[in-house]
Amino acid sequence: MSYYEQKIPPVRDSRLQLADSYSGSACDLLDCQKEGCLMRKNRSFWQSGSCQMSLTLMMAATVQNSVIVLHSPAGCGSMLGPIGVSSNRGRVQRGLPPTPANWLATDLTETDVIGGGERKLREAIEYADREFRPEIIFVVSTCAPNIIGDDVAEVVESEKDKVSAKVVGLHCPGFKSRVVASAYDAFYHGLLRDIPFEPEPWKDYVPLDPSDPKYPMERAKENYQKSHTINLWNATSIGVADENEIERLLTALGLKVRIFAEYSSLDEYRQISQAALNVSMCNVHDDYMLKYLEEKYGMPYYIAGMPIGFTETRRWLVGIAAHFGLEAEAEKLADYEEKLAREAIEPFLPKVRGKRAIIGGGVVRAGAEAVALAEFGIDILSIKAYHYDDNAEDVYAEVAEKLPDAHVSVSTQLFEFSHQLRTLKPDFVITHNGTHGAAAKLGVPSVQLFSTEGAFFGYTGFWQILRRIVFALGNTSYQTRLAKHIKQPYRDWYWEADTFSFIKE
């Protein structure tokens, strides 16, 4: 049975070769992946871990006119406050009406854990339908119901006939996967099983009459539009400025761009099958969905890194253009854009050349950013990826080729990050939200790896990245003074040990 026919999605741990604990070079990482030793690596000590469910919630909370029903103890929903704020801001930035993320939880108690919580879940789904009248109800299955054996998939199936909303099961218990990237598959699995991707006659279009003399012309128009339409797949970490930059470039090639699956509505989802190409902006984000669309509708897909920096943006654009026979136009566009962008970044280059950096965060973005910055003379000391899986192979093959001496680690552990900062002493770090404080306490200025408030992709994005680095390097007195007055929580023996001494085979 294919993964797509199963009620419950597979986790990446069973679908792909992956790692959450690694230290070495990009070359050895690729060898280890081929030999199958990545999953055998582990840590004898973990400071913290992440839950895939929270990332699934981030995606679901953006969907228009939807309600989230968490089948969980109350605590699993603690993230939904800030998620609701950020998804609301994302809606406003995209010109959509500001609406709160509606959610409720079944609030499983000790009694439910003993007696089962299916009845509570049915009541919650029916209440959500009556109270909010949503188009979509996302039913999120967490650790507790999966441990006690509640059949959430069966409840979702049987409730479909009882409520007017589409009921979508999102099966993402935190304990089932070692990497949060499984969350993307869980969200997409719910969509592809429970949401229609084909337009409905009369609702979405007026069927053409073959006896009408205008029929051949109308059909030709329809076919032309479909053959020049791209579905661009976004992600929670990709803000509206990046979507606009990529749309600007693809539109300049005469292509029509539609963006899925975050911030979309049920009506928009029905258009997914009506495009010539599915384009992903991140290797580890969309393969599960895009392979499904190829299998189901014969739609080709394009997954080829992130359009960060000049070389990658050109390669990415030309690769997409090749599907439409527009390679020469894409090369010309890249020449024009690069010329403008090179002039714009010129003043930044003397200030960043030769600076030593550590880059950490999402596996593809960290690798792509490192390669792009190294091209302009930044010395990449280390790349720290939050996880690694087969989908990142091409990016790390490029890292191995262009940055053979850079250290590569797979780690979400803050103590290892702090140790690296103290021992490698970079001039600056480019890092994920939530880790800037650790860098500042060690006297190291930091720059955001991504933010939904600015551009990071294409030509506009690369100019902004360099501008941020110059700004961060311009005045480091805050970090210098903070480091003098902060007492680190680590013992001396750890500072003297190898950064990754807790990684075990």
Residues within the interface to ligand SF4 (CB under 6 A): 51, 53, 72, 76, 142-143, 173-175
Smallest separation, CB 186 to ligand SF4 (Å): 11
Residue 10 β-bridge partners: none
Q: Mapped to the 3 state alphabet, what secondary structure does 53-94 carry?
A: HHHHHHHHCCCCCEEEEEECCHHHHHHHHHHHHHHHHHHHHC
Smallest separation, CB 140 to ligand SF4 (Å): 8
Smallest separation, CB 307 to ligand SF4 (Å): 32
Q: Minimal CA–CA distance to 286: which of 352, 189, 217, 378?
A: 189
Minimum CB distance to ligand SF4 smaller for 117 or for 173: 173
Minimum CB distance to ligand SF4 smaller for 143 or for 279: 143
Under 8 Å between Cβ of 443 and 482? yes
Under 8 Å between Cβ of 409 and 22? yes
Give the tokens for residue 108: 């499983």
Minimum CB distance to ligand SF4 smaller for 177 or for 382: 177
CB hemisphere CA count around 34 (13 angstroms): 8
Q: Which residue sits closest to ligand SF4, CB atoms considered?
A: 174
Q: Mapped to the 3 state alphabet, what secondary structure does 390-455 carry?
A: HHHHHHHHHHHHHCCCCEEEECCCHHHHHHHHHHHCCCEEEECCCCHHHHHHCCCCEEECCCCCCC
Smallest separation, CB 83 to ligand SF4 (Å): 13
Minimum CB distance to ligand SF4 smaller for 170 or for 380: 170
Minimum CB distance to ligand SF4 smaller for 149 or for 210: 149
Smallest separation, CB 172 to ligand SF4 (Å): 7
Smallest separation, CB 141 to ligand SF4 (Å): 9
Angular region, 130: left φ>0, alpha ψ -120 to 50, beta rest: alpha
Smallest separation, CB 74 to ligand SF4 (Å): 10
- The H or E element containing residue 115 is helix 110-115
Minimum CB distance to ligand SF4 smaller for 56 or for 479: 56
Q: How far apart are the first and last CA of the chain?
A: 33
Minimum CB distance to ligand SF4 smaller for 72 or for 382: 72
